[in-house]
């Protein structure tokens, strides 16, 4: 077993552009590409929510309860086309099956937080008690959202209308200044913009789905992360006015703000949700690239039978291509000389140094993967410099159910003959 002697990498660097903490050995361009990815900084957490964060350093349960606390106030419901798979062993984890989406239910439905905001605060507190969320936390978040969240302020327009009226509140596009318009409509109105989101009351219809490319997608589902309703990544009038891809936007925002580390389990849900959003955008691009079907029926069948190209990571063609390349190397240059497995240790000092009180490694995946990547790079450097001439190297990184990565590496090195060793040393 090969053990890498730890040099205790330190988090002793800060990005001069976005303020992100960097681990010794990481490039300065990791977070915001040296200031080229300009993501608007999020406002500071409101005072009462900040007080929860400070008090939780003593109670040690904010990270574990953050998802429950957020679900008491979120404006949408997250779902998956084929459901969620929960694992009973190991740290809390969930697998998303199918496509994720956000739904906006009718405000007259008394089982959802949209209804609780206006009519039934007691039901929210009863739900909080069932999930052991402290009453002080719910009161603090409720007070701050009523004070600074624009969605709550627009929801209050329903209070001035008769209870029996069928109405809808349309949420418009965000402007360049980060504001959006909310317009009240009657049920028979035809002026509603298809790309916008409508909160209905007393309407017999299926839940409204939030467009995946809307800038409302993030603040509606995660009010605890974005209590000021800060707009997320999205298209404005069908145009990417932000100048950044989704991956660039999320990477810069996540690494530059410590709240995504503080709210552990909620942040993990946010990471999975946003990654599936990136994948969904890639899939939509592939679908639009297909030849147009002759009619609607054929088009539906064609969408169901799409074979993803090798350029889509994780597809069958991609896996087949990677496997074929690896087998070709072994066929041409011979079988590998070494088979190495490197596992991640949650007790590495660079991981434990960034964990907050009460947190485990599964609560901070961004810290774990960054520490693991640096360690893998150190191992590869040793293999290239200490084991002779390298013919080829193949590596695969996988994640276990408990959330920790491990790396399988096969290496083919040139084995010198006795005569070659003599000639090599004689030349020196």
Give 248-260 pLDDT, tens digit per residue: 999 999 999 999 9
Q: Show contacts of 51-57: CB within 8 Å, 24+ apart.
A: 51/140, 52/136, 52/137, 52/140, 52/141, 53/262, 56/358, 57/356, 57/357, 57/358
Higher-pLDDT residue of 5 and 217 is 217
Q: How far is CA 378 from CA 340, 371, 386, in A?
A: 14, 11, 12
Percentage of residues of the chain with pLDDT beyond 70: 85
pTM for the structure as a whole: 0.88
Q: What are the tens digits of pLDDT across the range 391-412?
A: 999 999 998 766 789 999 999 9
- 359 — alpha (psi -120 to 50), left (phi > 0) or beta? beta
- Three-class SS state of 205: coil
- Three-class SS state of 383: helix
Show the CA angle centred on residue 98, arms to residues 221 and 81, nearest 5°.
65
Confidence label for 48 from pLDDT (cuts 50, 70 and 90): very high
Higher-pLDDT residue of 305 and 393 is 393
Cβ neighbour number for residue 41 with a 10 Å cutoff? 12
Cβ neighbour number for residue 226 with a 10 Å cutoff? 19
The answer to whether residues 256 and 19 touch, using CB atoms and an 8 Å cutoff, is yes
Report how far apart the first and last C-alpha atoms of the chain are (Å, whole number): 32
Q: Which residues of 289-316 are buried (b: 16+ CB within 10 A; e: fewer)?
A: eeeeeeeeeeeeeeeeeeeeeeeeeebe
Q: Which of 55-64, 71-80, 141-150, 196-205 has the lowest mean pLDDT?
A: 55-64
Q: What is the mean pLDDT of residues 212-229?
A: 93
């Amino acid at each position: 077993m090969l053990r890498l002697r730890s040099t205790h990498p330190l988090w002793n660097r800060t990005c001069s552009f976005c303020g992100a903490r960097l681990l010794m050995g990481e490039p300065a361009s990791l977070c915001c590409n040296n200031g080229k990815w300009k993501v608007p900084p999020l406002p500071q957490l409101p005072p009462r929510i900040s007080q929860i964060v400070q008090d939780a350093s003593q109670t040690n349960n904010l990270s574990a309860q953050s998802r429950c606390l957020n679900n008491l106030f979120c404006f949408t419901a997250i779902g998956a086309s084929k459901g969620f798979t929960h694992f009973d062993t190991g740290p809390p984890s969930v697998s998303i099956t199918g496509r994720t989406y956000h739904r906006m239910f009718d405000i007259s439905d008394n089982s959802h937080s949209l209804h609780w905001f206006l009519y039934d605060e007691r039901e929210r507190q009863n739900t909080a008690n069932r999930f052991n969320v402290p009453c002080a936390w719910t009161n603090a978040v409720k007070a701050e959202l009523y004070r600074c969240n624009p969605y709550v302020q627009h929801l209050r327009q329903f209070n001035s209308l008769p209870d029996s009226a069928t109405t809808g509140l349309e949420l418009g596009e965000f402007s360049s200044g980060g504001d959006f318009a909310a317009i009240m409509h009657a049920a028979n109105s035809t002026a509603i913009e298809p790309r916008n989101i409508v909160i209905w009351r007393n309407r017999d219809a299926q839940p409204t789905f939030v467009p995946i490319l809307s800038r409302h997608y993030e603040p509606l589902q995660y009010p605890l992360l974005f209590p000021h309703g800060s707009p997320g990544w999205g298209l404005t009038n069908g145009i990417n006015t932000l100048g950044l891809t989704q991956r660039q936007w999320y990477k810069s925002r996540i690494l530059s703000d410590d709240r995504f580390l503080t709210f552990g389990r909620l942040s993990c849900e946010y990471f999975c949700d946003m990654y599936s959003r990136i994948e969904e955008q890639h899939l939509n691009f592939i679908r639009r690239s297909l030849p147009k079907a002759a009619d609607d029926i054929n088009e539906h069948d064609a969408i169901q039978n799409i074979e993803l190209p090798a350029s889509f990571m994780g597809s069958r063609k991609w896996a087949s291509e990677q496997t074929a390349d690896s087998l070709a190397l072994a066929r041409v240059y011979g079988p590998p000389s070494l088979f190495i497995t490197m596992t991640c240790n949650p007790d590495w000092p660079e991981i434990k140094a960034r964990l907050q009180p009460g947190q485990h490694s599964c609560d901070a995946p961004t810290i774990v993967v960054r520490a693991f990547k640096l360690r893998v790079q150190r191992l590869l450097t040793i293999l290239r410099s200490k084991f002779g001439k390298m013919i080829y190297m193949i590596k695969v990184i996988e994640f276990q159910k408990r959330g920790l990565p491990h790396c399988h590496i096969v290496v083919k090195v040139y084995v010198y003959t006795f005569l070659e060793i003599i000639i090599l040393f004689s030349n020196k």
